[in-house]
């Protein structure tokens, strides 16, 4: 059974990327494919469990793909899908607004 989606587009977007970790994961994957360890390091103070949970949710939502290589030790790559990459303008706006805010309160 399909999950019922919110009627409000803002609520829908927040449901998909509405936590700090998902936005940072998207930010990092906009640069290209990354391995789990690279994401853990670049995202910051996130536990392995929380990173795994967020990556799984984002994969289920269609925002990224996960590719597992049959190697020892196993290698897993994460890449934004076209849908995930379509969030770039939102993150660009967040960067612009955050920079402006920082400049405003710093003066």
The answer as to whether 12 is a domain residue is no
73 lies in some domain: yes
Q: What is the pLDDT of residues 56-99, one digit of tens each?
A: 999 999 999 999 999 888 899 999 999 999 999 999 999 999 99
Q: Supply the pTM of this predicted model.
A: 0.89
> Helix, strand, or coil here: 9?
helix
Q: What single string gives the DSSP state of each residue in 60-104?
A: HTTSEEEEEE--SS-EEEEEE-HHHHTTHHHHHHHHHHHHHHHHH
Chain centre distance of CA 53: 12
The domain of 61 spans 17-106
What distance in Å separates the CA atoms of residue 27 and residue 91, rounded to the nearest whole number? 7
Q: What is the pLDDT, as a whole number, of residue 2? A: 59
Residue 62 is part of a domain; what is its CATH number? Answer: 1.10.10.10
- Could you give the angle at which helices 20-29 and 88-106 cross, rounded to 10 degrees? 110
Residue 81 belongs to a domain: yes
Structural domain contains residue 8: no
In a domain, 5, yes or no: no
What is the pLDDT at residue 38?
96
**Is 67 inside a domain boundary?**
yes
What separation, in Å, do the N-terminal and C-terminal C-alpha atoms of the chain show? 53
On whether the CB atoms of residues 27 and 44 are closer than 8 A, the answer is no
Residue 10 falls within a domain, yes or no? no
Please check whether residue 65 lies inside any domain of the structure. Answer: yes
> Domains in the chain: how many in total?
1
* Average pLDDT over the chain, rounded to an integer: 93
**Half-sphere exposure of residue 2, counting CA atoms within 13 Å on the CB side?**
4
* pLDDT of res. 61: 95
pLDDT in tens, 1-46: 457 888 899 999 998 998 999 999 999 999 999 999 999 999 999 9
């Amino acid at each position: 059974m399909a999950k019922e989606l919110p009627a409000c587009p803002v609520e829908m977007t927040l449901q998909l990327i509405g936590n700090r970790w998902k936005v940072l994961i998207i930010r990092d994957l906009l640069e290209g494919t990354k391995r789990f360890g690279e994401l853990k390091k670049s995202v910051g103070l996130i536990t392995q469990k929380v990173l795994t949970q967020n990556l799984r949710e984002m994969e289920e939502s269609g925002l990224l793909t996960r590719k597992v290589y049959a190697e020892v030790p196993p290698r897993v790559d994460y890449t934004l899908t076209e849908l995930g990459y379509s969030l770039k303008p939102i993150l660009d706006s967040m960067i612009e607004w955050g920079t402006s805010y920082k400049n405003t309160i710093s003066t």
